[in-house]
Amino acid sequence: PGPHTWELLVTGKGKDVKDGAVGPPPASHGVPGYPGRAMFRPGANNTYVTQLGKQLVRKGFGRFYRVGPGPIWSEADRRAVEAFQRTQGWRGGAADGYPGPETWRRLFS
**Domains delineated in the chain:** 25-108 (1.10.101)
Nearest by Cα to 37 from 48, 50, 26, 23: 48
- C-beta neighbour count of 38 within 10 angstroms: 9
Q: Is the model's pLDDT at 103 over the cut of 90?
A: yes
Q: Is the model's pLDDT at 95 over the cut of 80?
A: yes
Helix, strand, coil percent values for the chain (each to nearest 5): 50, 5, 50
Confidence of residue 11 (pLDDT cuts 50, 70, 90): confident
What pLDDT does residue 21 have?
Answer: 56
The predicted model gives 61-87 an average pLDDT of 96
What pLDDT does residue 70 have?
Answer: 96
Q: Rounded to the nearest 10 degrees, what angle do helices 47-58 and 75-87 cross at? A: 50
What pLDDT does residue 51 have?
Answer: 97
